[in-house]
Amino acid sequence: MPRLNAQTKLKSILRDYYENLEAPLAWCTSAGPAEILRALGFEVYFPENHGALLGASRTALKYIPRAHQAGYAGEICSYLTADIGAWLMQETPLTAAYGLPSIPRPDLIVFNTNQCREVAEWFNFFGDEFNCPVVGVFPPRHLEEVSRTDIDQVVAQFRKVIAAGEEVTGKTLDPERLKETLRLSLEGTTLWKKVLETARNVPSPLTFFDGTILMAPVVVLRGTQVCVDFYHEALAELEKLAARNAAAVPGEQVRLYWEGMPIWGRLRFMAELFAEQQACVVASTYCNSWVFDDFDPDDPLPSMAAAYTKIFINRGEMTKLEYLRRMVEEYRVDGVIFHDSKTCFNNTNSRFGLPRKLQEATGIETLSIDGDLNDLRFFSDGQTRTRLETFIEQLTMKSMSM
C-alpha cells in the first residue's frame, strides 16, 4: 500500500501514458528538448525511463550480458547495456506492466549529450535498428558559466531538431504551440520543485525514495496538463502532511542528501535501511535534475537551451560545489552520501575530490558508497549496510556532542 495518495494516482497516469504512445512518436533523452517534439505533435518516449524500469524491476542483469556479447563493455552505462540487451532479447517490462508487446517504434530519435556521450551511442544503435532518423544535440560540456555564445550554439542545434521533426511530420512548428508547451513545462517543473521543497520541513514528509517514484511525470509528461495536474495534487497532499509535521521516516533523527544516481534495483532495501536508522534522505541532486527554472515561454528556444545546458551534470566542479553547498543549507542536512556509480562516470561526483571540498566548505560529513544504477554486480548489501549504519551513527554521535 503506497504511503502517499499521489503514488496510487501515478499508476493510472503512467498506464495512460504508455497505452497512448502512438505515431508520430519521438524518442528523446530525459533532459533533452522534449517540448519541441511535443509542440510538433509527437508523442514522446524516454529510453532512460525504460532503463530505470529495467533496473527497478531487477531484470537488468538478465539483459546486460547480452549487450556485452554485442560488444558493449561492462564499464559503460548500464542503462545502455540493459536497454540494448533487452531489445536484442526482444523483451521489455512494459509487456507485463502495461501490455505493450514491445518498446514503441520511433519515427524520430533525438538525444542531447548534456548528460553524457553514452546517449549518442545508445540512441544511434536504435536509429540503425529501426532505420529511423537520429538528431543529436551536442552542447558545450562541463561549464562553470553558461554564456550567450553557448546558448546560441545550442539554439542553432535545436533548429536542426525542429527541421527534422517537420520533415517527419510534414507540419511546420507552430510557435504558439511551442510557447504553450513550454508554459506547461515551466508550470510542471515549478510544481515539482515545490513538491521537493516540502522536504525542507523538519521532519520531512517526503524521502528521496518517494521522489524517485513521484518524478515520473516531470520526466515523461513534461509539457502536458496531466503533469501539471498531478503535481498540483501531490503538492497539496505533501503540504498538508508538512503542516501537521507528519514524518516520512517516523522519529527522524538524521537528515541526509543523496548525490548521484539511484540504485534502482535496491530502492526498497535502501529505503528500509535508512528508515530503520531513523534517517531520512530528504533531498537529492537526481530528483532536482528536472527542475528547469530558466524556461521562459516568451523566449522558448534560448530559454530551453539555457535550462538544458545548465543542468548539474553538465557543470564544472566549482558550480557543482556551490550547488551542493546551497542544498545542504536549504534542506538542513547532517550528511551527504555520494553514490559512486561504477558504470555512470558522468553522474558520479566523488572522484575529483568534491566530497572533501564540500566537507571543508560546510563542515558536514560525507560518505561515498560503491554501487551502480542498474548493474548490481557492483553493489554489496553487506558493505553498504555497514557503511551507512556507521555513517548515521557517526552523525548521531556528532550531533549529541554538539
Tell me the residue type at 268: R
138/135 Cα distance (integer angstroms) = 10
Beta strands at 43-45 and 108-112: parallel, antiparallel or unpaired? unpaired
Listed in sequence order, the residues at least 6 apart from 163 whose beta carbon sits closer than 8 Å to its beta carbon are none
Task: Note whether 293 and 307 are within 8 A (CB).
Answer: yes
* The three three-digit cell numbers of residue 337, written as one number: 552520501
Nearer to other proteins, 222 or 339 (CB): 339
Q: How many helices (H) and strands (E) does the chain have?
A: 18, 8
Q: How far is the CB of 1 from other proteins (least distance, A)?
A: 24
Q: Which residues pair with 143 in a beta bridge?
A: 315
**Cell numbers linked to 89:** 532479447
Instruction: Give the span between the Cα atoms of 284 and 277, in whole angstroms.
Output: 19
By three-state DSSP, how is residue 106 classified? coil
Nearer to other proteins, 143 or 273 (CB): 273
Question: Three-state SS string across 20-65, please?
Answer: CCCCCEEEECCCCCHHHHHHCCCEEECHHHHHHHHHHCCCHHHHHH
Identity of the residue, 223 or 335, whose beta carbon is nearer to other proteins in the bound complex: 335
> Which residue, 293 or 381, has its beta carbon nearer to other proteins?
381
> How far apart are alpha carbons 36 and 177 in whole angstroms?
9
Name the minimum Å distance from CB 367 to other proteins: 9
Q: Where are the beta strands (DSSP E) in 227-334?
A: 254-259, 279-284
To other proteins, the closest distance from the beta carbon of 59 in angstroms equals 22
CA distances from 171 to 111, 285, 304 (A): 21, 38, 21
Residue closer to other proteins (CB basis): 92 or 368: 368
Q: What is the nearest approach in angstroms of other proteins to the Cβ of residue 344?
A: 16
Taking the least distance from each CB to other proteins, the nearer of 277 and 346 is: 277
CA–CA gap between residue 231 and residue 220 (Å, rounded): 13
| Residue closer to other proteins, measured from CB, 88 or 273 | 273
**Minimum CB distance to other proteins smaller for 124 or for 359:** 359
Report, in Å, the least distance between residue 390 CB and other proteins: 4
Q: Which residues bind other proteins (CB under 8 A)?
A: 276, 365, 370, 378-380, 382-383, 385-387, 389-391, 393-394, 397-398, 401
Q: Smallest distance, Å, CB 336 to other proteins?
A: 14
330 versus 393: smaller Cβ distance to other proteins: 393
Cis status of the peptide bond prior to 262, with omega within 30 of 0: no
Closest CB 60 distance from other proteins, rounded Å: 18
Assess contact for 108 and 135: CB atoms under 8 A. Answer: yes
Provide, rounded to whole angstroms, the least separation between the CB of residue 400 and other proteins.
9
Q: What's the rounded Cα separation, in Å, for the pair 270 and 57?
A: 15
In whole angstroms, the minimum distance from the beta carbon of 394 to other proteins comes to: 5
